[in-house]
């Protein structure tokens, strides 16, 4: 690989345009970037909730946050509220940011547990500023607000925004349906041929063709590791509704008898969907359930999306890198797909081939991708497995299924010690694991001995000080809607 290589991106969904934006930003005119997309096929059209790391992707692209939110009709996301997961009627929130105050020796839950036993603590979740702010439907983003956040945005507007960004940086877009892919004798991809007859050749191909996996699977036969025995949901129905009231600053995830429903509030509408398992629910029943449980007037016909959970055995094979749904799919439950796209692109830029494509680099890329996928996989399985629900065959399956050894170990350590130990470079921090385990009904047993170093009075003082500090923040935060209005006000209509 030298200067002026031809990079061909196949697909113009969020993955394709995120790749085009980041690569054009990173390499400028030193690489020729072409993106091919087919309007006839369209995009998956979902993927509207993110996690805080998305901010670093925007920063890397030099995107102005207020302009971004205005253009994509975005809202702020402070966490995800899980309803009916541990048991029917249960509600907890997995917030971004810290809960309480950690010590390097023991995380906050240990201090909380002793205070709780003394009868001087509220619910663990009441010590999260993010949760208290979300529940009050407030928001405030500045370096001193104490909040961590991500966004909800309109997927179509997001791709359009990145397209404009990329085209301004020299990315060439071709509209057309790819009908065949040509390979060289050594199996590397040489070119793709459009239905209209054009042949687009390149040195590096980025497969962003979505679930079709046109290059990585259909051409290179890379293979797929199926995880549907752990993540059995295989279908989703997506529908948009009109907003009723002001947007809330969090995603809702509501468990039903054979899956769960999302609600993502945007400035101009609400994104809704039902993720379910076709072994336990028919499409008709799922559609009925979804439509019975949305608020606001329905704007679109419910759209069926079929998927299989798992990952491509290699994310990089020969001169093809799969980014987005072509590289694998876990579950939208913790909004990790767009994040995996982001890390896949950043990893590619950091390992971008020099004079030639190097197999050791490919292997390292694949090793890191696999590790990342597996750690997120465990975290998502946790939500399904740690439940007391026994009201349906679906929940009976999830509760009693065997789980990966890596996850079983984490749960056992937590049950015995109330601690979680994050593995190196793992996406979800100890607090996230603890919040979901506690929120879904694992009762913590023992607290860390260092907690006893604090006298009872000191412990009470610590708990009160956290609460008082949060009260002060909350008193100055405006409503979420007021903050959006204020923040996006300075931006001229796009
Ligand atoms: C139900 C559901 C909910 C989700 N929710 C979230 C969420 O909340 N948060 C999150 O982070 N992620 C979520 N995701 C994942 C997220 O939607 C995707 O990761 C993201 O949209 C990227 O998709 P993509 O670009 O890989 O594929 P797509 O959007 O499907 O794009 C594929 C592109 O390839 C093109 N293409 C395919 N074949 C050809 C061909 N032969 N010729 C020419 N062009 C072709 C298509 O035209 C299209 O442009 C969700 C996914 C699902 C299924």
* Per-residue pLDDT tens digits for 326-378: 999 998 999 999 999 999 999 999 999 988 899 999 999 999 999 999 999 99
Question: Is residue 210 within 8 Å of residue 325, measured between CB atoms?
Answer: yes
Confidence of residue 293 (pLDDT cuts 50, 70, 90): very high
Measured in angstroms, how far is the CA atom of residue 129 from the centroid of ligand 1? Answer: 33
Nearest CA to ligand 1 atom 53: 305
Average of pLDDT values for 264-293?
97
- Rounded Cα distance between 54 and 353, Å, is 25
Confidence of residue 494 (pLDDT cuts 50, 70, 90): very low
- Rounded Cα distance between 439 and 126, Å, is 12
Q: What is the DSSP letter of 325?
A: G
Does the Cβ of 253 fall within 6 Å of ligand 1? no
pLDDT at 444: 86
Q: CA distances (Å), 410 to each of 217, 398, 400, 413, in order?
A: 33, 17, 17, 5
Considering the candidates 2, 59, 77, 172, report the single residue annotated as catalytic.
77
SS3 352: coil
Average of pLDDT values for 443-460?
94
pLDDT tens-digit map of 15-35: 999 999 999 999 998 999 999
Does the Cβ of 208 fall within 6 Å of ligand 1? yes
pLDDT at 490: 61
Average of pLDDT values for 440-469?
95
SS3 323: coil
Q: Which ligand 1 atom is at minimum distance from the Cα of 324?
A: 26
Check pLDDT > 90 for residue 312. Answer: yes
List the end-to-end C-alpha distance of the chain, in Å, as a whole number. 39
Measured in angstroms, how far is the CA atom of residue 17 from the centroid of ligand 1? Answer: 11
Q: Counting beta carbons within 10 angstroms of the beta carbon of residue 492, is it exposed (0 to 12), middle (13 to 18) or buried (19 or more)?
A: exposed
* Average model confidence (pLDDT) across the chain: 95
Say what the pTM is. 0.96
What percentage of the chain exceeds 90 in pLDDT?
91
Q: Which ligand 1 atom is at minimum distance from the Cα of 43?
A: 29
Does the Cβ of 338 fall within 6 Å of ligand 1? yes
pLDDT tens-digit map of 123-154: 999 999 999 999 999 999 988 888 999 999 99
Q: Counting beta carbons within 10 angstroms of the beta carbon of residue 59, is it exposed (0 to 12), middle (13 to 18) or buried (19 or more)?
A: exposed
Measured in angstroms, how far is the CA atom of residue 40 from the centroid of ligand 1? Answer: 14
- Rounded Cα distance between 135 and 154, Å, is 23
Is 77 catalytic? The answer is yes
Check pLDDT > 70 for residue 2. Answer: no
Does the Cβ of 340 fall within 6 Å of ligand 1? no
Measured in angstroms, how far is the CA atom of residue 45 from the centroid of ligand 1? Answer: 7
222 backbone dihedrals φ, ψ, rounded to 5°: -70, -30
Does the Cβ of 302 fall within 6 Å of ligand 1? no
pLDDT tens-digit map of 187-232: 999 999 999 999 999 999 999 999 999 999 999 999 999 999 999 9
> Which of 34, 150, 174, 210 is the best mutation target for the ligand 1 pocket, counting ligand atoms within 8 Å of the beta carbon and taking the most?
210
- Alpha-helix residue ranges (DSSP H) falling in 235-324: 283-292
pLDDT at 410: 95
Sheet holding 31-37, edge to edge: 172-175, 31-37, 5-10, 204-207, 320-322, 316-317
């Amino acid at each position: 690989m030298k200067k002026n290589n031809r990079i061909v991106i196949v697909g113009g969904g969020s993955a394709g345009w995120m790749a085009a934006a980041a690569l054009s930003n990173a390499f400028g005119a030193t690489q020729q970037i072409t993106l091919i997309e087919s309007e006839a096929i369209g995009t998956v059209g979902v993927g509207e909730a993110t996690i805080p790391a998305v901010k670093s992707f925007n920063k890397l692209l030099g995107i102005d946050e207020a302009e971004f939110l205005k253009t994509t009709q975005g809202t702020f996301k402070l966490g995800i509220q899980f309803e009916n997961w541990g048991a029917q009627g249960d509600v907890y929130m997995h917030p971004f940011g810290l809960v309480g105050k950690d010590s390097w020796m023991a995380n906050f839950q240990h201090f909380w547990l002793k205070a709780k036993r003394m009868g001087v603590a509220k619910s663990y979740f009441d010590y999260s500023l993010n949760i208290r702010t979300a529940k009050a439907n407030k928001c405030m983003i500045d370096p001193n607000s104490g909040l961590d956040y991500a966004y909800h945005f309109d997927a179509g507007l997001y791709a359009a925004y990145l397209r404009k960004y990329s085209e301004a940086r020299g990315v060439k877009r071709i509209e057309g349906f790819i009908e065949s892919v040509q390979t060289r004798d050594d199996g590397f991809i040489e070119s793709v041929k459009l239905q209209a007859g054009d042949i687009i050749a390149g040195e590096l191909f980025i497969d962003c063709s979505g679930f079709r996996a046109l290059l990585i699977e259909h051409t290179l036969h890379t293979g797929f590791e199926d995880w549907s025995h752990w993540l059995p949901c295989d279908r989703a129905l997506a529908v948009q509704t009109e907003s009723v009231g002001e947007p809330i600053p969090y995603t809702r995830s509501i468990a039903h008898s054979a899956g769960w429903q999302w609600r993502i509030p945007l400035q101009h509408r609400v994104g809704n969907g039902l993720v379910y398992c076709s072994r336990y629910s028919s499409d008709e029943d799922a559609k009925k359930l979804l439509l019975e449980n949305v608020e606001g007037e329905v704007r679109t016909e419910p759209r069926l999306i079929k998927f299989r959970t798992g990952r491509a055995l290699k994310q990089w094979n020969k001169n093809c890198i799969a980014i987005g749904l072509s590289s694998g799919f876990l579950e939208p439950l913790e909004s990790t797909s767009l994040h995996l796209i982001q890390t896949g692109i950043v990893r590619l830029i950091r390992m971008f081939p020099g004079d030639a494509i190097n197999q050791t680099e490919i292997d390292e890329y694949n090793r890191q991708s696999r590790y990342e996928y597996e750690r997120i996989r465990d975290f998502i399985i946790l939500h399904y497995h740690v439940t007391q629900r026994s009201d349906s065959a679906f929940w009976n399956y999830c509760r009693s299924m065997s789980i990966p050894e890596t996850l079983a170990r984490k749960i056992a350590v937590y049950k015995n010690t109330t601690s979680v130990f994050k593995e190196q470079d793992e996406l979800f921090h100890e607090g996230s694991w603890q919040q979901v385990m506690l929120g879904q009904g694992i009762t913590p047993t023992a607290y860390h001995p260092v907690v006893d170093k604090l006298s009872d009075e000191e412990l009470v003082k610590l708990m009160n000080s956290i609460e008082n500090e949060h009260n002060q923040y909350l008193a100055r935060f405006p409503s979420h809607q007021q903050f959006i209005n204020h923040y996006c006000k300075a931006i001229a209509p796009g």
